[in-house]
Structure 1
Amino acid sequence: MRAVTYQGKEKMTVTTVPDPKIQEPTDAIIRVTATAICGSDLHLYHNGNMVLNDDYVVGHEPMGIVEEVGPDVKNLKVGDRIVVPFNVSCGHCHFCENDMESQCDESNRNPETDYGGLFGFGKLNGDYPGGQAEFLRVPYADQTSFKVPDNHIADEKVLFLSDIVPTAYWSVEHAGVKPGDTVIVLGSGPVGLLAQRFAKMKGAKRVIAVDRVKHRLEYSAKKIGVETLNFEEVDIPGMALKDMTHGGADVVIDCVGMDGKQRKLEKVTNLITPQMGTTSPIEMASMAVKKFGTIMLTGVYLTPATNFPINHIFARNVTLKSGQTPVPHLMPKLYEMIKNNEFDPSDIITHTMPLEDAAKGYEIFDKKEDNNIKVVLKP
């Protein structure tokens, strides 16, 4: 089959790899009908050698048609149309039974790690080849899937149930956003835009989007109706946000992570310490949140952080939350919200292209070219 594979720093290439096969009786094989490039994939694009071998199949936002099922699969049959969450979860451990599927005890047996398995993130994350491919093996298929009830609803409407829709929704919920709050969202990429929308739906009085990409900030302002700040237009963004909010926001949601803009000193720091990428979004959040406020880290951080502002967070009684979203249990509720037209996640799609053009899609997405927000690939 054809699949997107990691070939070194900033090099994702479509190559021919072996077709996946049933390995366990609880597996299913799907024919992928749509998949997407995620901001988390850019962490691999820039720093993939930390977790990936060359030729590893990437991607964790797929959906498709069931082609084959193992003998112990009970809830799926050949021909079913499913969305596959980025969490690999067994369904019966303590964490899965308590809606904490991202920390499944069974899906990642790597002795070097202590968290659940993920598609497309290599051996440290359970060694599950990803879904930017023509076919995908789905382990624990009954649990690691959402069967789409209505076959007339377009792939583009439900594809993002795999990751970015529940990630944005859970970020707002986990952060405790409530009616009347002021919420700052760092980043107007796909997750950030959806988080801004969910914060408004939750009843936030003010939502402020922070980015430096003009067309993404314009989307935030025009399509979602939130305030915006281009952080490159102010001297100290965290202090500017604190001034805008008269003492700080109730909640700051960091949807950027380690791939934010690095300061010059960090480029040196990253050569002599375990840190890679930047901690600037965390530092901005620590300045912009009010005393007794909440910071939610949604953007990915893969390495230790040298300048983590724990002193500032502690001294001001700030609550810090973080983590991988437990997707499976959220999918039915969010599907119903999409079906009932409460929001439309497909309106962030700016580029749809064949799987064979994935390298171009990564470059456009990484550089934010051609007014890009979200790339969908069609095998």
Structure 2
Amino acid sequence: MKAVTWQGRRDVRVEDVPDPRIEEPTDAVIRITSTGLCGSDLHLYEVLTPFMTPGDILGHEPMGIVEEVGAAVPDLMAGDRVVVPFQIACGNCWMCLNSLPTQCETTQVTGEGMGAALFGYTRLYGAVPGAQAEYLRVPQAQFGPIKVPDGPPDDRFVYLSDVLPTAWQAVAYADVPQGGSIAVLGLGPIGDMACRIARLRGADRVFGVDLVPERLERARARGVQTYDLRDFDDEKALVAAIRDETDGRGPDAVIDAVGTEAHGSAAARLVQQAATLLPRKIAGPLAERFSVDRLAAVYTAIDLVRRGGTLSLVGVYGGTADPLPLLTMFDKQLQIRMGQANVRRWTDEILPHLTDEDPLGVEDFATHRVPLAEAPHAYEMFQRKQEGAVKVLMTP
């Protein structure tokens, strides 16, 4: 089959790889009909390269048709239409039963000290072949796949794999009071969708911050009060502008949907780039002990949120040597929640909103739909924020 493989920093290729097959009774194999390109994939494209191996198959946002199931998968059959969550979880362990499938004790990558295995996401998360491919082996298929009805286009449901539950959890963790206010830093796919969900769930004021004109316009068109980072001399001026809209206090909650590759972190960026140029045998151990993030967004979030407010960190961070302003965080009595989305925890709440009325705008959420063969261009376009790319779907 054809699949998108990682070959090096900023080097992905579509290659022929072996077809997946049933290996365990709890496996299924699906034929992929749509698969997303995620901002998290861009971290593998450039920053997290020390944890990658040439030939790794990328991607973790698939949906498709079941081709084959193992003997221990009672609720799926060939021909079922499914969305596959990005994490691999059993549904039966203590963590899964307590709505934390991203910490699944059956698939935890204990050798790396990490949580549940993820599709297409480095050796830290199990080096499981990913979903930017024609077919996908799905472990723990007795729990993971979400059956969806035939008929509506893939765009109606494909975001259940990652975008929708990640944004939903970000807003749920933010715990905005009814009629309250929230700021979202970063208006890529997750930040954009988080703004929509915040409004759906009753936030009165939603502020969105980015520096890409197309992203700002998309959010503004859905009632978000937007701020272009380029219009401010520094972070303090941005914070002051939003505080002026919230009686001088700051919003009740702030979502950081940017993560480790934030703009405005020049020194950390140089360190990240230098690490990617080292041989992998050296870069991997160094990154595990001394990796740093670009923290401009999280620093802004800490400064911006009102005292007693909540920070919801949904952007991916991977640093182990990051300095945080703990004095400020303690003094402001901040609550902080973070982590990978627990997909199956939220899907039953989300599904009723994927109706013909489409209140979250999922059917026109993608800005680009491209054949799998164009994946190298799609990665470059998305990474460079060119051609108005906000969300890319690929079709095998």
> How would you bin the TM-score normalised by the shorter chain?
over 0.9
Q: Which residue of 2 aligns with 1:248?
A: 250
> How far 1:356 moved relative to its partner?
0.4
Letter of the 1:131 counterpart: A
> How far 1:215 moved relative to its partner?
1.1
1:374 correspondence with 2:391: yes
Residue in structure 2 matching 1:334, options 350, 363, 386: 350
Number of residues of Structure 1 aligned to a counterpart in Structure 2: 377
Q: Which residue of 2 aligns with 1:355?
A: 372
> How far 1:364 moved relative to its partner?
1.1
Gap regions ≥5 residues in structure 1: none
Distance (whole Å) between structure 2 residues aligned to residue 234 and residue 285 of structure 1? 16
What pairs with 1:48-67 in structure 2 (closer than 5 Å)? 48-67=48-67
Q: Please, which moves more after superposition, 79-88 or 341-350? A: 341-350
**2:265–2:295: 8 Å Cα contact kept in structure 1?**
no
Q: Deviations over 1:246-288 (max 9, x none)?
A: 2211100000100121433334555598234401111010111
Alignment partner of 1:137: what SS? Answer: strand
Q: Which residue of 2 aligns with 1:207?
A: 206
Q: Which residue of 1 aligns with 2:303?
A: 287
Q: Deviations over 1:15-67 (max 9, x none)?
A: 11111111110000000010010011011111242322110001000011111
RMSD: 1.6
Letter of the 1:350 counterpart: T
Gap regions ≥5 residues in structure 2: 276-285
**1:293–1:317: 8 Å Cα contact kept in structure 2?**
yes
**2:119–2:129: 8 Å Cα contact kept in structure 1?**
yes
Residue in structure 2 matching 1:232, options 230, 233, 237: 230
Q: Which residue of 1 aligns with 2:158?
A: 159
Going from structure 1 to structure 2, the CA distance change for 1:124 and 1:266 (only over 3 Å counts) comes to closer
TM-score, normalized by length of structure 2? Answer: 0.92
Alignment partner of 2:9: what SS? Answer: coil
**1:182–1:204: 8 Å Cα contact kept in structure 2?**
yes
1:301 correspondence with 2:317: yes
Distance (whole Å) between structure 1 residues aligned to residue 129 and residue 110 of structure 2? 15
Q: Deviations over 1:171-195 (max 9, x none)?
A: 1011112212110000111110110
Letter of the 1:231 counterpart: L
Distance (whole Å) between structure 2 residues aligned to residue 239 and residue 320 of structure 1? 24
**2:6–2:12: 8 Å Cα contact kept in structure 1?**
yes
**2:261–2:269: 8 Å Cα contact kept in structure 1?**
no
> How far 1:152 moved relative to its partner?
0.7
1:144 correspondence with 2:144: yes
What pairs with 1:41-120 in structure 2 (closer than 5 Å)? 41-120=41-120
**1:238–1:285: 8 Å Cα contact kept in structure 2?**
no
Alignment partner of 2:260: what SS? Answer: helix
1:190 correspondence with 2:189: yes
1:343 correspondence with 2:363: no
Distance (whole Å) between structure 2 residues aligned to residue 269 and residue 17 of structure 1? 34
**1:257–1:301: 8 Å Cα contact kept in structure 2?**
yes
TM-score, normalized by length of structure 1? Answer: 0.96
Distance (whole Å) between structure 2 residues aligned to residue 365 and residue 276 of structure 1? 23
Q: Please, which moves more after superposition, 282-291 or 258-267? A: 258-267
